[in-house]
Amino acid sequence: MSDVQFCLLLAALLFSIGVFGLLTRRNAIAILLSIELMANAVNINLVAFSRVHGGATGQVFALFAIALTVAEVAVGLALVILMARQRRTIDVGEATDLRG
């Protein structure tokens, strides 16, 4: 198994853990963490393919993605704080206002 395949396998594993967390955890912060895992799995992929193709494009792209993810987390955390203030809980199982 080459380095690249190892990297891809690691990324797939991380992504799957992220999806699992996203679908099963009720805590809003845990869900944010799961999303972070999935984003970083993608970043690993970018860096790995960058190495295969021998260019800096993928790495630069990964850097941008990290920066954007930070912004996304900032928004996500703001939402969690708002939820905590309004509902006194951050359990997403309680937030089912859209039920038909």
Partner 1 sequence: MNVHSLALAIPVLPVAAAALIGLVRPIGRRGGLAAAISIAAAAASLCCALALLPHTSAPFVLKLPWLQVGGRTLAEVGLSFSGISGPMLVMVGTVALMVQIYSVGYLSDEGSGQRGRYFTWQSLFLFSMQGFVLSPNLLQLFCFYELIGLCSFLLIGYYYERPTAGRAALKAFWITKLGDVGFLIGLLVAWVQYQSFDLATIARTLERGPLESGAWLLPALLFCGVASKSAQFPLHVWLPDAMEGPTPVSALLHAATMVAAGVYLLVSTSFLFVASPVVSSVVLYVGAFTAVFAAIQGAVQHDIKRVLAYSTCSQLGLMVAAIGAGSVMAGYFHLMTHAFFKALLFLAAGSAIHAVHTNDLRLMGGLGRGMRWTGIFFAVGVLALAGIPPLSGFFSKELILASLEEQPVALVLVLATTFMTPYYMGRAFLLAFRGEARSDSARHPHESGWSMRGPMLVLALLAIVSGNFLWSFGRMIRQPAELHFSPIAYLGVALAIAGLGLAWVLHGKKQPAIDALPPAVLQAARSSLVDQLYVVGWKHVLFVLAAIVSFFDRYIVDGVMNLVAWAGERAGSALRRTQTGFAQDYVLALFLGLLALVAWGVWGT
Q: Site residues (CB under 8 A) for partner 1?
A: 19, 22-24, 92-93, 95-100
CB of 92 to partner 1, least distance (A): 5
By the 10 Å C-beta count (0-12 exposed, 13-18 middle, 19+ buried), 31 is classed as buried
Could you give the C-alpha distances from 30 to 9, 18, 58, 60, in angstroms and in order? Answer: 23, 10, 28, 28
Residue whose pair of structure tokens reads 């809003």 in the numeric block: 28
Based on CB atoms, which residue is closest to partner 1, 19 or 47?
Answer: 19
Shortest CB 39 distance to partner 1, Å: 15
Residue closer to partner 1 by CB (options 86, 97) is: 97
Q: Decide whether 86 or 96 has the Cβ nearer to partner 1.
A: 96
